[in-house]
Chains A and B, each alone.
Chain A
């Protein structure tokens, strides 16, 4: 028998494409950035990006496991905020005098606070699974509830704790601690944690029975149950794993100087899901890899940073726009071959005609806000001409046929 072990190389085709895209983006940024920070300050650029990549990557690992198991977890960002709040308020409550002082809360208090935060992840993940399996609620609904609810819970908890242990109640709790500064400075520590977590997750997904069951559950839940797989247990692992990942990231976010725990990671659940999708996870479930997800997160980070450096703004402003565009483009590219094979029109019928000016307008607006009014107008006209030409080409081709 000459059966091979399957076509598993180091990476799959779409993952190699991601590697190349990442290299291209980095090279492009190094060349186009007027202050050439990638070339002049390579270490600092790496540190900056690493600091932001680590939490995004960890969140994306959690999102990927849930997505592969056929579910969705919208609550990651709020969960991170809750865990950060729990951690910070416990530091305050247990640290007493030493809270926000130069000497810091100390290792014992930190350990208790971290343990409590991780327990919160365990609790939330378990509740999610219970609602999904016992109450038979759709995962989208359950985690939508937590997305909205957990952040509010974090604020209420903060309000209660500050009222109880401090002079006045407050919705937020800015704080600093030497341990935080240490974490923020030593970026390699957070990247190391990401690497360890990713390796562990990869090992579980690709080498263990549990991992195969996660793929089976995502691919066909009914068939998985009828194959004797305890689907509730597999789901419990997936949702708890993602909630605990979120708890971990919550602690990274509060480490940033002067962070306010209840507002952190706002909207990051969607970035994490986007990284998983860009990395090749299918929202239908059953398909996806950990290397792909990591590459997806790196690619998102690289593009966001590239835009921030080329346009010279704070990266937060454009982050959502970029993530949105990248996700849509990534999924489009994955379907490009099919579109070409079926010779489908990109602008069919009246909807196509309507889409052309809309697209041109969007291009113009993007040019206007990033570069200037003249570029915006020119870009809009240029896009209009190109798209109309494309449409004309499509029309001619369909007539010839």
Chain B
């Protein structure tokens, strides 16, 4: 066994109220791709922040190529050859690709003036090496996420980094961008770069990595060789318990039609394609979960927004709810009609960070708590408490700040918020994003219970509700949904029943439209 390029020795880090890392030791060998996995809150990101110099205050030591080091900041880490590609990219959107790559280390020429041409040339070389067709002069903000990420990688290359940390690099990429990223990683490894790869997605990790380290609750569980283990073992180590394969969907009975959509179109002014959605038709029945699959930008979120009256433009086409044509101009109207939307980006579109758990749950149903516009606090608390109990939200009470909860529990609060409105149709936009494995299974069970109609608070005996859900993870849709619609470039390209759907077929339908459209234009 050769000398480790980085040795992490008994590193601990405590935040107020949380032990983020406890006594973690990992050896990373030169040239390997070392995957770090764990549920949310397992301490992966904290560990990477320590390695890249973002966090400077911790216990334990780092040994880089045999020498103990202590980074005082990210610049120190970069100088020592450690770069990090954050999950949320750190680009200045108003500057060009080249300017971003050389930010803080601008090449200077005559009299110390900035030499833009030299930077553009150097950036062009780096980008070409990464199969990136982006021009060095183009503004970073105008690029797709995948290209922006390559700019960050180019920046790391320009720093001559030997160690590259990638934090969930594929979370926002399309399939083709993911395969390009795989090729880039392959190339980096040929150059001898050591890569620390953080991800939730086990298939990626098993495809790429040499060794896997599992963290749980801030502690090291084990480091395994990828060849000698299996996804099942790793999942088991991550959650510390077996996830039973639940058979959802059996004996579910789809009843009357709740929602009928005909020829729904949404225009996209100023875009070459001209539409976000084009002639989408489907129906949703009571007691079924309808999945919507599609790549990024296929129109999944836009479709849900149209149904909820929250789209940027007015959609055309027909939407019928319980046989009545509806045309929502504001989300408020959709709420009243019995539609609820749990948004995709929880932090940006769902949570009220300055409010507590109870206030976050009750925000949509305040009118029911009191008279004449006044809030009856004790009643509000009783209702919110019941919802929180029903969904088994883990918190230190309704008065706890919502930001103190884990992602999964925050999501439960938002679902609870909407269940209180007693919706007929529940729209879930990627509900398990940023939610750990254990909480995912709970959410699946919750969705199953809702469509079956055994919700505890429901005094209505009309049975279940209808759920439309999108997901960026196909296995999830295959587990939870009765039928799956596939969108591609805003068009509906296929509908599969649970029995006939496979990942392969869905992927084909999701990319089908693209090639066909490309051939036409």
Contacts and interface: CB of A to CB of B under 8 A. Distances in A.
A230 B364 CA distance: 12
Contact of A226 (B331, B397, B399): B331
B352 A216 contact: yes
A219 B355 contact: yes
Interface in B436-457: none
Contacts of B375: 207-209, 211-212
B399 A225 contact: no
A164 B308 CA distance: 56
A7 interface: yes
A209 B373 contact: yes
Contacts of B352: 215-216, 219-220, 223-224, 286
Contact of A222 (B335, B341, B348, B397): B348
Interface string A235-273: 000000000000000000000000000000000000000
B35 to A, nearest CB: 32
B272 interface: no
A168 interface: no
Given A5-B381, A6-B358, A223-B349, 18 more contacts: A207-B374, A208-B373, A208-B374, A209-B366, A211-B375, A212-B363, A212-B375, A216-B363, A218-B354, A220-B349, A220-B352, A222-B348, A223-B350, A226-B331, A226-B341, A226-B349, A227-B363, A228-B332
Given A219-B354, A228-B332, A212 B397 contact: no
B30 interface: no
A311 interface: no
Contacts, number: 95
A234 to B, nearest CB: 12
A329 B411 CA distance: 39
B367 A209 contact: yes
Interface in A191-227: 207-213, 215-216, 218-220, 222-227
Contact of B373 (A210, A218, A228): A210
Interface in A260-298: 286-287
Contacts of B381: 3, 5
Interface string B367-398: 10010011101100100010001000000011
13 contacts: A3-B398, A5-B378, A208-B375, A209-B375, A212-B363, A212-B375, A222-B348, A225-B330, A226-B343, A226-B350, A228-B330, A228-B332, A286-B355
A322 interface: no
Enumerate the 7 nearest inter-chain pairs by beta-carbon distance, A residue then B residue, closest first.
A228-B335, A228-B332, A286-B354, A6-B399, A219-B352, A219-B354, A209-B366
B359 to A, nearest CB: 7
A229 interface: yes
Given A3-B381, A228-B332, A215 B355 contact: yes
A112 to B, nearest CB: 31
A228 B343 CA distance: 13
B356 interface: yes
B243 interface: no
A207 B348 CA distance: 26
A80 B455 CA distance: 56
Contact-residue bracket for chain B: 35 or more
A229 B352 CA distance: 13
A286 B403 CA distance: 15
A4 interface: yes
A205 B374 CA distance: 10
A1 interface: yes
A69 B350 CA distance: 17
A311 to B, nearest CB: 40
Contacts of B358: 3, 6
Interface residues of A, number: 30
Interface of A: 1-7, 207-213, 215-216, 218-220, 222-230, 286-287
B334 interface: yes
B364 A228 contact: yes
A398 B160 CA distance: 30
B95 interface: no
Contacts of A220: 348-349, 351-353
Contacts of A213: 366
B75 to A, nearest CB: 13
B310 interface: yes
Given A216-B363, A226-B343, A3 B331 contact: no
B397 A4 contact: yes
B417 interface: yes
B373 A287 contact: no
Residue of A7, A219, A224, A227 most packed against chain B (CB within 10 A)? A227
B192 to A, nearest CB: 35
A3 B332 contact: no
A348 to B, nearest CB: 12
A222 B354 CA distance: 14
A212 B374 CA distance: 10
A33 B381 CA distance: 51
Given A5-B381, A228-B331, A230-B332, A212 B348 contact: no
Contacts of B330: 225, 228, 230
B399 A227 contact: no
A4 B349 CA distance: 28
Contacts of B364: 227-228
A112 B373 CA distance: 31
Given A219-B354, A226-B310, A5 B349 contact: no
A1 B381 CA distance: 11
A219 B389 CA distance: 25
Given A3-B398, A219-B354, A220-B352, A227 B385 contact: no
A1 B331 contact: no
A285 to B, nearest CB: 8
A1 B385 contact: yes
